[in-house]
Structure 1
Amino acid sequence: MKLADRIAEVSTKDAVKASVSYDQLRAADGAFYWLETRPDAGGVTTVTCWRPADGRRDVSPQDFDVSSGVHAYGGGSFAVVDGMLWCVGRDGLYRSRRNGGDLELVSRGAFGDLTVGDGELLAMRESEHGDELIAVSLTGAPQMRTLAESRGFFGALRPGQGLLAWTAWGEQNMPWDACEVWLASYSPHGRPENPVRLAGGPDESAVEPKWGPDGALYFVSDRSGWWNLYRWNDSKVEAVAPIAGECAAEPWELGYASYEFLADGRIVMVVQEGPRHRLVVIEPDGSIHPVDLPYTSIKPYLAAHGTTAALIGSTPTAAPQVALVHLDDEPRLEVLARSEHAELSTARVSVPTELRIGVHGDREVVALVYPPTGSAADWRAPLIVRAHPGPTASCLLRLDWQAQFFTSRGFAVVDVDYLGSTGYGRSFRESLYGRWGFYDVDDCAAVANHLLKMGRAVPGQVFIRGASAGGYTALHAVSKDGPFAAATAVSAIVDPDRWAQTVPRFQRAHALRLRGGAGRVRAATVQRPVLIIHGTADEVAVVEDVRKLADELLALGVGHELLLLPDVGHYVATSSQAGTALEAELAHYRSVMAAAASVQPDSQDCQR
């Protein structure tokens, strides 16, 4: 079977160029703003504005990279008020005197979660000693005040009428494990007074506080086992709309907005159920109504103006889009920006199907299976199993051009929601602690073995790849007997104990909770060829660890290749070297397949 005769391959350039990402959508000054990261422009992130009368335009300088390093993963890196843009660059906080003008440095440091208050900008600042809540005057020469300090972590500083809310969690926790919502009396240019904890604790993650138009403080808590919306109204905390689904994303970044208020008293909210997202509207009486949209994946960045909600959504056949959902008498959809470009506008794509298989008794593993592009119903192909990062992330039902890069070349791709993924409740998310490198590997292998048994995957041509925590999973998967013929590890974590010492302070608690499972990846146990791709500027998983592993593999004569990408950080897929990484990964699989074919020259299996 030669798919090249029928299917146009997605070129490396197109796969990378199509991977424009949109983030941090928000409403301000009668307009919608968001971040655009464009790999074909060197991965620079720009603030873009859409205004009904003016359309879409960039409002940050062309070569300025709006990027926050706070808590290693950033978030909340810009705010707009009265035509002035405040944003975070790699070396500090900036502002422009007019929207679209030159930026001036206000203060050096790691800032995030920028929020506009009454005459002041509120933000979180991180140092090696801990976090600070700060306020900066909006007019005149910026004056900066510290409102609170902690050896732990802060986020979501949200001003209300005479009150201030924020989130906090300790050094030994991640925000999805134990996060608290705090409240204090506050007046602009003053300091928080008489703080009290409203929600959260050792076994509860309370996130995303926000003041409603009714004066109540809303937040999302997983006290029921699911992240659901709650409300505090001076006397008690009550559930707003109980749902057996996740109404917040795992808070790797600051500034998430999983729900928003409409002008008519309704609330619009994103709900995740496994690999799917949906948008719902909560009526004032608490009833919940789904919104009929094509999107199956929605980012945790909702914004609203009047009865219009803005979101970043995608589908299995449409890459991420910034869209308006008009929720008046006749709901309608208006797309403001889309990431496809002309060369891919007519490209055929592989649409995934959802697979559920039973493992370890009554537990299920969910996976998304992408068949080779244009294949028949009874397809059989080389298979790439992808272990997502996190490991608290999840596989998402959305168009992924880097998956299409491989499916257009005759491969099948499968994304696995292994134990520890978000979208299945708190218990599922926590169950990987102390078993990392075991349960995640077992789940990926179970999916691969199922597809082999069903005759979909070709024996000897089943591969596993992963990035960050997924890279650790991939390396351990080829360190034991199993279905995988080779692995690709991108930005991989290699040694959990050492990682706990070198990882940025935000993630140290995660490293400590995860470790205790399979331990360090040992070169002596690696049984299959591995490709290791790593950026030399990676601050999350330092390059020295993979260099050491590569040296050990070389000394033992274990088949491997180390591809170091100069000046690239942790996110290879959105870097200027994303194309180089894709081509190397493809060559890696083809070389393993060619070696197998030379041993079995009579094989009739599909390969290209």
Structure 2
Amino acid sequence: MRLAGRPALWSDGPVSQGTAAAYDSLAAGPAGLHWVESVPDAGRSVVATWSLSGGTVLGALPVGSRVHAYGGGAYAVAGADVWVVREPDGQVWHAGSGRRLTASPYPHGGLSSGDGLLLGVRETATHDQLVAVDPAGAGETVLTESPFLGAACLDGGRLAWTRWADGVMPWDASEVWTAAYGRDGLRDAVRVAGGPDESAVQPRWGPDGCLYFLSDRTGWWNLYRHRAGRAEPVAPMAAENAAAPWELDYANYTFLPGGRFAITAQSGPEHRLVLVEADGAQRLAGLPYTHLKPYLATVGDRVAVIGGSPVRAPEIALVATDGTGRVEVIRSHERPAGHLAVPEVIRVGSGADQVTALYYPPPGAGPAPLIVRPHPGPTHHSAYRLDEDVQFFTGHGFAVADVDYRGSTGYGRAFRKALDGRWGIADVADCRAVARHLLDTGRARPGAVFVSGASAGGYTALRAVGEPGPFAMATARSAIVDPAGWRRTAPRFQRPHAAVLAHPDAAVRASRFTAPALLVHGTDDPVAPVADVTALAAALAGRGLLQGLLELPGTGHYLTGPAARAAALAELAAYRSVLARAAR
């Protein structure tokens, strides 16, 4: 049965095949705007183009990048041409003619265009290569190599790119380099920012000829300008102007006419759009969004964004920068009808140990069953936007608390680094603190508090039931179970992540469980091996603490469409079973 007034995002009945599209990789070109749009019914993603005269056209070629496992930069625009990284071969193709430009055994990503060339990152089994691809189809040339590389930009014979070493993640230690580029390759390469204790990302040549980049040298990712041999801050603020660089094509700032800028700013879970005037003055652009994806683009004097909020599904919009506050939506989903749970931002504790959560109450009053959710990543944050899972569970009478535990982004470098060597300890303590706060304030029902997470959040959930209370059950989707083993099985990009987070006692051990667990996992997961989960399931079953094991054939690390719906329905059934047992 459906609860009255609940949006029909999910149902208790047969699993539906439909789901909303997703928008990513927004960029401007001569024809208008471009982005990567998922086509759920077709099971693929394509490049979409919106012209200034109106109308959106979806491309025909399936696109996507597998570089660093998380991809990004799957297309580039050069004049009237669109070049894409085609799935599943990972090669560069001309979208219009279907002509292939590369024939490498290695996948490509991080495409960009400049000076009549295409640039891209090519990942081998051991390192990355920055390549120049001839649009005429004459092959590709390796420009430079490094353990890891970010997307490059080329303008007027000047090249800029990001690189980082083996054993580190780019949000911990990365560098911006520049060089002159000509027929004889790169000359006079020099590092202009970054180092062992600094993350420098997203280099771009500005209209004024200067190099711009984002650096966390002050403890916050802020925008800098490099000129006359030195870097100077452009818009200092106690907020994060960059997203942790999981993908290769993030664009958290964009240039506006008249020497102005637009920059995303994240403070805790909330994102804002900051407009920086030519004299350095900062002002907020009034937006109906609490979440902005890390893709900004300039269209005339307006800023294109992908924005969302707890009551608005992600949409693509053009934001005026003239102070009028006008927002023109050019691509969106149908807005959900009925009651939507809107979160309250709560903070527990104080000082460096303060933890922030988004608390979603269900309809009605009084203490409710509570689901505490540590986000995946773990170097990420809770999304302050419409979440189908949240609405599904609040619609069924559960409260939900999304926790930005220590290690989350949006709170500065020190908070982001606070999980190093303490994974499964500090994050668990923060989830427990939020649960106890909601119990103490009468918003959670005693004995009916659950913990649920996916990927790294699934690991946190499993660790959270490794000691008594307050959690009555854990749900783990696509969970990492053995951090030590994960250092060997994780994608090459993420192995240093596993190493810096882990500690000698980091493994999930069935012998420590004090509450049951539901395990949900895809059989084709390339990030977290399913064998680890099935072994844990067997051990839990032997102790009578396996609430269930849902294996999803042919499903990878990310649960979407029917797999996501099956997982949500299994999770709801598991909670109801635990609550029914407690009521006997």
Alpha carbons 2:176, 2:200 under 8 Å: kept: yes
Residue equivalent to 2:494: 507
Q: Kindly, what percent of the aligned residue pairs are identical? A: 49
Quote the Cα distance in structure 2 between the aligned partners of 1:145 and 1:293: 44
Q: How does 1:441-520 map to 2 (within 5 A)?
A: 441-516=428-503, 518-520=505-507
Quote the Cα distance in structure 2 between the aligned partners of 1:81 and 1:234: 30
Quote the Cα distance in structure 2 between the aligned partners of 1:294 and 1:511: 37
Quote the Cα distance in structure 1 between the aligned partners of 2:15 and 2:267: 31
Assess, with a 3 A threshold, how the Cα gap between structure 1 residues 193 and 17 changes in structure 2: closer, same or farther: same
Residue equivalent to 2:92: 94
- After TM superposition, give the deviation of residue 264 of structure 1 in Å: 2.3
- After TM superposition, give the deviation of residue 219 of structure 1 in Å: 0.3
Alpha carbons 1:158, 1:164 under 8 Å: kept: yes
Quote the Cα distance in structure 2 between the aligned partners of 1:420 and 1:550: 28
User: Deviation digits for residues 235-275 of structure 1, max 9, x if unmatched?
Assistant: 21111111000000011111100000012221001000000
User: Deviation digits for residues 333-373 of structure 1, max 9, x if unmatched?
Assistant: 110111236xx3x22200111111116x763111001111x
- After TM superposition, give the deviation of residue 166 of structure 1 in Å: 0.3
Assess, with a 3 A threshold, how the Cα gap between structure 1 residues 336 and 9 changes in structure 2: closer, same or farther: closer
Letter in structure 2 aligned against 1:461? A
Alpha carbons 1:321, 1:338 under 8 Å: kept: yes
Assess, with a 3 A threshold, how the Cα gap between structure 1 residues 353 and 17 changes in structure 2: closer, same or farther: farther
Assess, with a 3 A threshold, how the Cα gap between structure 1 residues 19 and 447 changes in structure 2: closer, same or farther: farther
Residue equivalent to 2:258: 264
Alpha carbons 1:16, 1:579 under 8 Å: kept: no
Partner SS for 1:588: helix
Alpha carbons 2:478, 2:522 under 8 Å: kept: yes
Alpha carbons 1:18, 1:339 under 8 Å: kept: no
Quote the Cα distance in structure 2 between the aligned partners of 1:398 and 1:142: 45
Letter in structure 2 aligned against 1:280? V
Q: What runs of 5+ residues in structure 1 fail to find an aligned partner?
A: 599-608
Quote the Cα distance in structure 2 between the aligned partners of 1:14 and 1:567: 17
Quote the Cα distance in structure 1 between the aligned partners of 2:5 and 2:268: 34
Residue equivalent to 2:354: 364
Alpha carbons 1:435, 1:515 under 8 Å: kept: yes
- After TM superposition, give the deviation of residue 210 of structure 1 in Å: 0.5
Q: Higher mean Cα deviation, 509-518 or 498-507?
A: 509-518
Alpha carbons 2:352, 2:415 under 8 Å: kept: no
Partner SS for 1:596: helix
The answer to whether 1:118 aligns with 2:104 is: no
TM-score, scaled relative to structure 2: 0.96
Letter in structure 1 aligned against 2:145? E
The answer to whether 1:590 aligns with 2:576 is: yes
User: Deviation digits for residues 557-582 of structure 1, max 9, x if unmatched?
Assistant: 3233111111111111x354111111
Q: Report the aligned-residue RMSD.
A: 1.9
Assess, with a 3 A threshold, how the Cα gap between structure 1 residues 53 and 447 changes in structure 2: closer, same or farther: same
Quote the Cα distance in structure 1 between the aligned partners of 2:275 and 2:160: 25
Quote the Cα distance in structure 2 between the aligned partners of 1:575 and 1:72: 20
Q: How does 1:344-383 map to 2 (within 5 A)?
A: 344=336, 346-358=337-349, 363-372=353-362, 374-375=363-364, 378-383=365-370
Alpha carbons 2:260, 2:275 under 8 Å: kept: yes
Assess, with a 3 A threshold, how the Cα gap between structure 1 residues 363 and 287 changes in structure 2: closer, same or farther: same
Q: Higher mean Cα deviation, 78-87 or 6-15?
A: 6-15
Partner SS for 1:402: helix
User: Deviation digits for residues 100-141 of structure 1, max 9, x if unmatched?
Assistant: x546473342111100121211000001021000011112x3
Quote the Cα distance in structure 2 between the aligned partners of 1:27 and 1:93: 23
Residue equivalent to 1:145: 141
Assess, with a 3 A threshold, how the Cα gap between structure 1 residues 169 and 417 changes in structure 2: closer, same or farther: same
Q: How does 1:259-338 map to 2 (within 5 A)?
A: 259-328=253-322, 330-338=324-332
Letter in structure 1 aligned against 2:452? R
Quote the Cα distance in structure 2 between the aligned partners of 1:84 and 1:8: 42
Alpha carbons 2:7, 2:391 under 8 Å: kept: no
Letter in structure 2 aligned against 1:364? Q
Quote the Cα distance in structure 1 between the aligned partners of 2:428 and 2:511: 18
The answer to whether 1:407 aligns with 2:398 is: no
Quote the Cα distance in structure 1 between the aligned partners of 2:203 and 2:254: 11
- After TM superposition, give the deviation of residue 588 of structure 1 in Å: 1.1
Letter in structure 2 aligned against 1:363? D
TM-score, scaled relative to structure 1: 0.92
Alpha carbons 2:5, 2:339 under 8 Å: kept: no
- After TM superposition, give the deviation of residue 5 of structure 1 in Å: 4.7
Quote the Cα distance in structure 1 between the aligned partners of 2:392 and 2:171: 33
User: Deviation digits for residues 267-314 of structure 1, max 9, x if unmatched?
Assistant: 001000000000011111111111111111101000112211101001
Q: How does 1:386-401 map to 2 (within 5 A)?
A: 386-401=373-388
- 1:542 pairs with one of 523, 529, 532: 529
